[in-house]
Structure 1
Amino acid sequence: MTRYLTSTNLPTWWHPLAERAAKIEGREITRFLPPKNGDATPSAVLILLAEGGDGPDVLLMQRSATLRHHAGQPSFPGGVTEPDDADPIATALREANEEVGLDPTSVTVVTTLPDLWINVTNYRVTPVLAWWHTAHPILSINPGEVSSVARVPLSDLADPIRRVRARHPSGYIGPGFDVNGMLVWGFTAGVLATVLRLGGWEQPWEPGRLHDLA
C-alpha cells in the first residue's frame, strides 16, 4: 500500500523524495523498528521542507535543556498522539502549531515514512513529510519546551564537512550533523540522513570526526 498522498503543485525538487519515501521500508532507515507487541507509545514528527534563500530547507528546533526526555536535543516538531488526533498527520500538525506556531493551512502533507522506534522512551514515531508552501515567521511558543527554532538549508546538511559520527555513552555510533551551532544526532539525524539520500542531495563523505555525547 502506498503512503504517497499527493504530488499536486510540488516543486520539481520534491518529486524524487516524495516518490521514494512513499515506497521505503522501515528496515531501510534504521534497525530500531517498533516492537511487534504494539505496546510502544504512538507519536509523530513533522519533516517540514520549504524553499529557502539557499534552496530547500528543513525546520528544526532545539528542545529545552530542562525537559525530562530528549533535553537539549535538536529535533523535528512533534510529540505524543492525543486521543482527539485523527491520525499521525493530525498529531504532527498539532504539535508543530503548539511548539512553533505553525499555521496548518500553510502546509501540504505529501507522504509519511514507515513507523520507527525510539527505544529509550519506547515511542513509535511516524515521520510526516510535508511541503511548506506558504512559509511564515515561526518562534518558540513555549521556551520551557523549545529553546530555539531554525530553518536549515539541506545543502548545509549535505555538506560533507558538516557530517560527523555521534557516539552515545552506550557505545552506539550513528550519523550526526554539525550545523547552525547545533549537533544533530540520534533519531533526528538518522531521519535527516534518509531524507538527503532519498531526495538525491547526499554527497560522498568519509566517516571522520567522532563526537562523543555527554
Structure 2
Amino acid sequence: MPDRVPVRCPVCRRDHQYVPAAYPCRCGAAVVAPPALGAPARQLVHRVWEDSWITVRCGACGRQGRWPQPELDCCCGAVLALPVLSVPQAAGRGEPEAARQGSSPAWDPVALAVHWLERLGHREVRRMERRGASAVGLRASGVLAEVETAARPVGARAVECLWLSGLAAGLPAVHFARAGYTAGAKERAEGIGLALFALDASGAARPVSGAAGELVRGAGGGA
C-alpha cells in the first residue's frame, strides 16, 4: 500500500496527498483502512453515525474492529470522506512482532470525539474553524466542543478560552484531548465547571473533570 494516496476535492478540485491512518489491534499489529486508489472522495455535509465508522479486519490475527471512516480536510473548507478498499488489512503484515509493538500508529481523535458527543446525546455534529495548528472546533445540538489533536497535554489557557467561547455562544462546552491535561487545566476546569475528556487509541473517552462525570451519568453512563 502506498504511503500517500492522491485525493481530489470534488468541491474546489484541489489535489491532496492523504496519509492513511493506522489503528492498534489487540494483537499488536497496526490496522490500516486503505483508501481505494482512483475512487472519488465525497463531501461530508451532514455527519451520520453509521457513515462515520467502518469495520476493518486485522490481517495479522483476523479480528474485526470498528474504526473511523478515513477523512480529509480541504483548505476550501470541505470535509471529505474517502472510500476504502473492500478488503482492509493490517499494516506491517509479515513484520516481526517486536517491530510491530515498537510502532506508534496514528488514530483520529476528532472522529472519536464526534462519536462520544453523539453517545452523550448531542447530534448533528459539524466541524467549525480550526483553533490554532492542532485544535479542531465542533458544534452539535446543544453543545460546543474542541478537540486537541496534538500529542501534548492541554493547558489552562485553552480550557478557559473554550469556556469563554461557550459563554459567548450561550452553550455548554466540552473539551476532548488526545494527550490529557496539565494539572493547571484540570484545576481551572473544576473552577469553571467545564467538561474535560481524555481520548485514547482504544476508543475510550475518560472523564477527567467533575462536569464530565456529570455528563456521563446524565447520559446513563454511555461514555
**Same structural fold, with TM-score higher than 0.5 when normalized by the shorter chain:** no
- In our comparison, the structure showing a higher alpha carbon Rg is 2
Question: TM-score, length-normalised on structure 1?
Answer: 0.29
With CA pairs under 8 Å and 6+ residues apart, which has the higher RCO, 1 or 2? Answer: 1
